[in-house]
Amino acid sequence: MPVGDFPFPHMNPVQGIRLGTASAAIKSPGRKDVMVMEVCEGATVAGVFTQNAFCAAPVTVSKEHLAKSPARYLLTNSGNANACTGDQGYQDAVDSCERIAELTGVDASQVLPFSTGVIGVNLPMDKLLNALPEALSNLSESGWQAAAEAIMTTDTRPKGAAATFEYQGATVRVNGIAKGSGMIRPDMATMLAYIATDATVAQPVLDQLLKEAVDSSFNRITVDGDTSTNDSCILAASGKSEAPEIISADGELYSLLRDAVIAVHKLLAQNIVADGEGATKFVTVAVQAAENREEALRVAYSVAQSPLIKTALFASDPNWGRIVAAIGYAGVKGLDDKQVKVWLDNVLIVENGGCAESYSEEAGQEVMNQEEITIRIDLGRGEVAETVWTTDLSHDYIKINAEYRT
């Protein structure tokens, strides 16, 4: 039950980027579950990956390949994560790259593999390899939505975002697609995202831009606090637009690109949260007046990950006591509870260590009945603000995750 208004947008082609899909029947027959993104020669490609100590074989291989060669093909399968699959899993990831290399004439190290789905089961390699020619045969600059659909697992909708800007008469486009709904929190959980622009961006600038964009988007969302073995986010710059090359992280053109790339990342991240497993609410937790970034995030995540708050959100219950308790156990040293203020949207609910005098249950209830809610927390200590996005915790979350594998 997704929330929020995130229709798949119209996406103009990003020149130099083509996408193709195929059906390999990895988990269930019929649906497309293989996606290949082709990046033109001369493009720059940056990647960030999960911090999980049990990172999946495709993550290991993608990192190795990305360090070695300019990437030309990104191969994704859904339905099987190829994670915790030992030496065989590593070999399977390498083999799938080699097959793409054979079919396209690039070096195997120019292929990056990605997998998402069930953990601990070896990839059905015959099925996967047999589907690759089909995916390559339908590569198209207009394949974005089909690609977004092919990488879905428990997602209920394909996720895309696009931005465009003009610079000195040249149009620059940024397109992005992503998947992920359960297992989402900082460090990027079971989440795959592919963002591409036709701007021309030097490798170090692209690397830095991607880190910044991920940090303000995918690293600020949480559904259930779990993070995964397979998260990957790729940013490719094809260099096909007329705008000049960006060789340093400053200037007007860089600033325009940065804004567009971050906007696409944020929309994708918010869409993932809003499609969180069993979500019925889209919740923004905005912490302000913190002494530093770390404590702002501690409080934000403490609130955003509290099962008691999330079940109260599901019940549309303005149970501010649970919010206060979660702020209290976030571990902010020397926090003065008398200085803390909490709002539901614009309704002040907590001040002076207790319920605000102006608060009425009716006003709180009105906010809680909404599908989109902002919990705003003022710590009264400093000037740092941080925002994270989350969902409620519903019956359907249990249902989806108790029944996912069986």
Q: How far is the CB of 208 from its own copies (least distance, A)?
A: 25
Nearer Cβ to its own copies (30/334) = 334
Coil/strand/helix, residue 24: coil
**82 vs 197, which CB is nearer to its own copies?**
82
Instruction: Output 2 or 182, the one with its CB closest to its own copies.
Output: 182
Query: How far is residue 245's CA from residue 239's CA, in Å, rounded to a whole number?
Result: 8
**Does residue 185 contact residue 226 with C-beta atoms inside 8 Å?**
yes
Which residue lies nearer to its own copies by CB, 204 or 353?
Answer: 353
Q: Which is nearer to its own copies, 239 or 364 (CB)?
A: 364
Q: How far is the CB of 381 from its own copies (least distance, A)?
A: 12
> Are 393 and 314 in contact, with CB atoms under 8 Å apart?
yes
Q: What phi and psi, each to the nearest 5 degrees, are found at residue 52?
A: -60, 130
Supply the minimum distance, in Å, between the C-beta of residue 222 and its own copies: 11
Does residue 190 carry a catalytic annotation? yes
- Find the shortest distance in angstroms from Cβ 82 to its own copies: 10
- Contact residues for its own copies, defined by CB under 8 A: 51-55, 81, 83-86, 88-89, 118-120, 182-183, 187, 224-229, 305-308, 311-312, 314-315, 317, 319-322, 324-330, 332, 335, 337, 340, 350, 352-355, 393-395, 397-399, 401-406
Closest separation between CB of residue 191 and its own copies, Å? Answer: 13
Which residue, 84 or 286, has its beta carbon nearer to its own copies? 84
Sheet arrangement for strand 159-167:
44-49, 232-237, 192-197, 170-179, 159-167
Q: How far is the CB of 61 from its own copies (least distance, A)?
A: 14
44 vs 57, 143, 190, 198, CA distance in Å?
23, 21, 25, 10
DSSP state of 331: -
Smallest distance from its own copies to CB 141, Å: 36
Return the exposure string of 352-373: e unless at least 16 CB atoms fall within 10 Å of the residue's CB, then b.
eeebbeebeeebbeebbeeeeb
Q: For its own copies, give the closer residue by CB, 39 or 349.
A: 349
Contacts of 357 (CB under 8 A, 6+ apart): none
Of these residues, 76, 116, 190, 200, which one is catalytic? 190
- Give the span between the Cα atoms of 389 and 219, in whole angstroms: 10
Q: What is the DSSP letter of 226?
A: -
Write the DSSP string, 126-193: HHHHHHHHHHHHT-BTT-HHHHHHHT-SS-SS-EEEEEEEEETTEEEEEEEEEE--SS-STT--S-EE
Distance of CA 307 to the CA centre of its chain: 22
Task: Report, as residue numbers or ranges, the catalytic residues.
Answer: 190
